[in-house]
Structure 1
Amino acid sequence: MPKKAIITGATSGIGRALAIEMHRKGYVVGATGRRTKRLESLKEKLGDRLFIQQMDVTNMDNAVSKLGELASRMGGLDIIVLNAGISNLNEGDGRGNDLRVIDVNIRGFANLAAHCYNLFEKQGHGQLVGVSSVASLFGWGQSASYNASKAFVNTYLQGYRQKANHTDADITVTNLIPGFVKSEITEGREGLFWIAPTEKAARQMLHAIESRRNTAYITHRWRIIAWLIKLSPQWIWNRM
């Protein structure tokens, strides 16, 4: 039987590319997002084995309910990829945007992550996959809430991985940490480097999922940048 995977935030970027790649590899795929027309377009492109569900992850109880409905239509759930997220780089009022980022990237993420972990524990198996960012490794004044929200993802998944090690259920917790990937978020931004094509990023993401990795940098060479960031003394970041 093909494995069943749901991807949140599948209307664009790496979420959409991963849905296409998993479908190509024979998975039963559920795609969620706020933009219904884009979900319908993806359904037209992929056809059978692709199920869609409009979802706003900030509507907590409704998101859990819709996830359950989607999983039921798919015949179950083996893998959840929590990819839905937003950036606030250089956007308007700091307070309002910070709270919006926190609602989506932290509260929306944790709500579905905790729900799916409990589901996997009850059914005896499952894989919880979160999409973080290399930005999680440092604070940045122009996108403080985004970087901090992705740091939350790292630590949250680390805690749930430890939790999974103490349960009888076969649960894998995977943290995907992309660098720059071609998407709507990176479009038009100057000074970016090592921008990976979305298709290449999706292939590496799926390989990490299938290998049941704990952590994977996407693309692989971003591990070098992560190493350099971790070695940099705090005073360097404070003076930037």
Structure 2
Amino acid sequence: MTQATAIIVGASSLLSREIAKQLSAQGVELSLLVQDPDSLSEFAQSLPNKAKVYPLQIDQPQAIITTIESLWQELDGAHLVIVNTGLNSYDPSLPWQPEEDIITVNVQGFSAICNTVFRLFTQQGYGQLAAINSIAGLRGGPSVAYHASKAYAANYLEGLSMHAQRLKLPITITDLQMGLLDKAAMQQSRLWLSPPQEVARQAIKAMQKAKRRAYITKRWRLVAWLTKLLPEFIYNTRHWRTKEERKAAKAAKKAQ
């Protein structure tokens, strides 16, 4: 392969599409895997460089493996694979079904993708696997299965990196640790929310530098550091509420 090629698994999100735009502008040919290919066909056609869309059954690990292997043969390999598959939900009553769905997608599906890609990279002799992960995996949290799944992903990626070193192969594993963007959006925090273009730019820069782990955006490194240091009785006082909800709670407390 002389043409730079990349596969984005889970290409329908806003961040994936922005990464695709910037990579395509740099001359990278893209293969985009999504659950609903029709929803991304117009976007793929708008990119400045070649891009094709393929179906993805993210809740069926064996189907994922078959899809990636077939695509790999069609492309004759790839230089970069980006994994951006993740499911999250929060319900204080902790019903089992959402938890099971998160585990299926974030653990089983994620593992099937990374395991298959790593195996194909070992046969190819080189490559880079990058995964959109989250600092939510540093500790447990209100969305119990989600936080646990992100910790699993971080350890799985570290294990693959160690295995590549033992095999003495130039396979780079990059763990892109995103900040708590959902929480920042919920609280309408301008300080912690960055434009998608900047998030994608920093993610691509980290991949190009072959970073083992990177915090995206960089300011979330401080939050990650504090998260690890906080004692549980302080860490557990976090509230997933909007500014309006917090103001209302304060007003109600004063009125008592």
* Match of residue 28 from structure 1: 29
Amino acid of the structure 2 residue aligned with 1:27: V
Q: What's the offset of the Cα at 1:18?
A: 1.0
* Alignment partner, residue 154 of structure 1: 154
Q: How many residues align?
A: 236
Which runs of structure 2 are paired with 1:5-154 in the superposition (5 Å)?
Answer: 5-46=6-47, 48-90=49-91, 94-141=95-142, 143-154=143-154
Contact kept? 2:185, 2:193, Cα under 8 Å? no
Code of the residue aligned with 1:66 in structure 2: it is: T
Structure 1 residues 186 and 8, CA, compared in 2 at 3 Å: closer, same or farther?
farther
Distance 1:195 1:169 in 2: 37
Q: CA deviation at 1:38?
A: 2.2
Does the CA-based 8 Å contact 1:180-1:196 persist in structure 2? Answer: no
* CA distance in structure 2 between the partners assigned to 1:54 and 1:187 by the alignment: 31
* Cα deviations by residue, 1:205-226 (Å, 9 ceiling, x for unpaired): 1111111000000001110111
Shift in Å, 1:238: 4.2
Query: Comparing 39-48 with 213-222, which one deviates more in the overlay?
Result: 39-48
Q: For structure 1, which segment, 51-60 or 64-73, has the greater mean C-alpha deviation from structure 2 after superposition?
A: 64-73
Q: Which moved more, 1:22-31 or 1:56-65?
A: 56-65
Give the match for residue 215 of structure 1: 213
Q: Which letter does structure 1 place at the counterpart of 2:232?
A: Q
Displacement after TM superposition at 1:187 (Å): 9.5
User: Structure 1 residues 144-153 or 42-51, which shifts more?
Assistant: 42-51
Q: Is the 8 A contact 2:69 2:116 kept in 1?
A: no
Question: Offset of 1:186 from its aligned partner?
Answer: 6.6
Q: CA deviation at 1:44?
A: 2.1
1:131 Cα deviation from its structure 2 partner: 1.4
TM-score (norm 1): 0.90
What is the rounded CA distance, in whole Å, between the counterparts of 1:68 and 1:47 in structure 2?
A: 26
Q: Find the partner of 1:236 among 231, 234, 237.
A: 234
Q: CA deviation at 1:194?
A: 0.7
Q: Secondary structure at the match of 2:53?
A: strand
Aligned position for 1:198: 196
Which is further off, 95-104 or 154-163? 154-163
Greater Cα shift, 126-135 or 107-116: 126-135
Contact 2:27 2:49 in 1 (8 A): no
Where 1:5 maps in the other structure, the secondary structure is: strand
1:108 to partner: Cα distance: 0.4
Counterpart of 2:223 in structure 1 is 225
Higher RCO by CA contacts (8 Å cutoff, separation 6 or greater): 1
Q: Partner of 1:139: helix, strand, or coil?
A: coil
Q: RMSD between aligned alpha carbons?
A: 2.0
Can you list the C-alpha shifts for 1:71-117, whole angstroms capped at 9, x where unaligned? 33434212111111111123876210000001111110001101111
TM-score of the two chains, using structure 2 as the length reference: 0.85
CA contact (8 A) 1:32 1:39 kept: no
Q: Is the 8 A contact 2:134 2:150 kept in 1?
A: yes
List gaps (5 residues or longer) in structure 1.
none
Give the fraction of aligned pairs with identical amino acids, expressed as a percent: 28
Moved more, 88-97 or 225-234: 88-97
Q: What is the rounded CA distance, in whole Å, between the counterparts of 1:109 and 1:177 in structure 2?
A: 15
> What whole-Å deviation, never above 9, does each CA across 1:16-73 have from its counterpart, x for those lacking one?
1111111111111111111222221222211642121010122122212222333334
